[in-house]
Homo-oligomer: A and B are copies of this chain.
């Protein structure tokens, strides 16, 4: 099904900006824009008038390209030569005309600049509420309507630019003020700039030798994060890993090694049967990690939660004692600071007491809630985190850092290194001429490791801790606004009572036809279908996106989360209006 009212190829047609609808204002703004150097003025004006975005019909169905007309060969021997290359006609150019090709500078700068222009337009549009969050098409439509295949022969740079436009046309605008679908939303401009720089630097975190600045920034940033966790002087260890699931797996790996270091050489066969504990509302990655590490999902004991989704400490203690009586060895409790669905914070102090009593590694999965440590108003929700042995904290969630950016923090220094090191002599030569403690790669599970730190570091410099705080406080305030708006509104039922602790607001929308109905099978089975239908309609209209799911015996409900700094009270109002508009006939 095509999205309502949009022809398949009409990129931007129904997305006219507010300015394009009011040409007078556009003209005024354009005059201002013209004062800029660097060609920005022209680009901005083109964008305002809506003619910057060429329709993508022409050549979109890229046939296997024929033999392209070759670029006239430069025969002069001057460098840079004076040959006329000024007419950059991408229809006759290929990637082989770009750097490192001899004299490829002009073509390269021109090409990259054109890509950047496409991206800048996309970025500006992303924040424009009159554009769609998504131009939805079903997988088979997208596969059939455009030729995505990889061929033997090259495409021209013109086709490459077209590929970029087409890709963005069907992309989700994750920075859009009305995109609430995931824990990671928003598009931070400094973060984006930092990610672009990271790409241009194109290096690898394993040694200081090839990533001197980034290794130092990882050191500085992890230390700062540990300070915020509350470890004296920011002491300890840590790493940026490819996501919260891997960070949680690291914690499990290190906890196991700490208790039974022989597991590294001898494997699980040489050690007793381990068990880990986490709440029934915790993230699935705890089980995923246990499966991978050879511990087994059955050895992850799920602790009961209260009605708000917080782990019940007495149940934890009971299950620990029970496991010990059965001969199992409890080695890890993974508490959650900010559960995925309810946004609940486990009672960390009580859990820390239990971990201390039974000598169990305490991990805090703060992938989602860790960001609240930046807020003087909200950080009390993580009280006790300073007693953890390890903490997962994903700046790519609540702090709005571009994906991916996840940190694992470990209180004991050196443990990660002992646990994971393999002493590869081709990377970690012991006779280098600099301080080898900066060759941090051997503490990782990975060999090559992407530079994830720079965007966080640069954003932190740009915002300061107080800037992150303001951003996070605002999102929490918006969540409270939403909660207050719907808690007594006709047609809404809250999934749990009380003010949200994080930005998660969980609720059912009850369409008029269900409002008078008694609780029972009929109502439940109809209510179950409401959220999926509204969500599908949201995506087809492309107006907003919010997640839903069932949980335990509760049928599909909406889980609203706000991590997008672009969102305002009006966007929350819009969401509610949209749910009612799309759901009233159900």
Contact = CB atoms under 8 A, between A and B. Distances in A.
Interface stretch (A4-12, A378-386, A453-461, A484-492): A453-461
Contact of A174 (B160, B210, B466): B210
A507 to B, nearest CB: 15
Given A110-B38, A200-B123, A529-B431, A447 B189 contact: no
A211 B35 CA distance: 38
A565 to B, nearest CB: 6
A82 to B, nearest CB: 5
Interface in A227-268: 242-246, 249, 253, 263-268
Contact of A293 (B32, B217, B246, B294): B294
A255 to B, nearest CB: 13
Q: How many copies does the complex hold?
A: 2
Nearest to A270: B296
A105 B295 contact: no
Given A296-B264, A447-B245, A202 B174 contact: yes
A369 interface: no
Contact of A197 (B39, B100, B115, B127): B115
Contact of A202 (B213, B246, B402): B402
A550 B425 contact: yes
A111 B200 contact: no
Interface string A145-177: 000111111110101100110111011101101
B150 A429 contact: no
Nearest to A533: B433
A295 B267 contact: yes
A106 B48 CA distance: 11
A425 B210 contact: no
Nearest to A462: B95
Interface in A43-100: 43-44, 48, 78-86, 88, 94-96, 98-100
Nearest to A199: B195
A57 to B, nearest CB: 18
Contact of A32 (B26, B84, B193, B433): B84
Given A122-B200, A204-B184, A549-B429, A464 B154 contact: yes
A291 interface: yes
B267 A142 contact: no
Contacts of A425: 549-551
Interface residues of A, number: 202
Given A445-B292, A529-B431, A556-B431, A106 B172 contact: no
Contacts of A39: 37-40, 113
Interface stretch (A280-288, A346-354, A475-483, A511-519): A280-288
Interface string A417-452: 001101111100101111100100000011111110
Nearest to A138: B434
Nearest to A290: B267
A504 to B, nearest CB: 11
Nearest to A153: B464
A287 B264 CA distance: 9
Residue of A114, A170, A461 most packed against chain B (CB within 10 A): A461
B202 A44 contact: no
Contact of A181 (B168, B209, B438, B466): B209
B32 A296 contact: no
A213 B438 CA distance: 39
Interface in A182-208: 182, 184, 187-190, 192-197, 199-204, 208
A444 to B, nearest CB: 8
Nearest to A80: B29
A154 B432 CA distance: 37
A149 B298 contact: no
A112 interface: yes
A550 B429 CA distance: 8
A278 interface: no
B463 A95 contact: yes
B447 A284 contact: yes
A283 B137 contact: no
Nearest to A396: B448
A264 B565 CA distance: 40
A200 B187 contact: yes
Given A25-B80, A86-B36, A195-B199, A466 B152 contact: yes
A63 to B, nearest CB: 13
The 6 closest A-B pairs by CB, nearest first: A294-B294, A267-B296, A100-B566, A268-B268, A35-B86, A433-B536
7 contacts: A25-B78, A28-B78, A113-B116, A142-B212, A148-B216, A154-B462, A195-B199
Given A112-B123, A154-B463, A265-B297, 6 more contacts: A38-B38, A138-B434, A154-B466, A192-B199, A246-B445, A340-B426
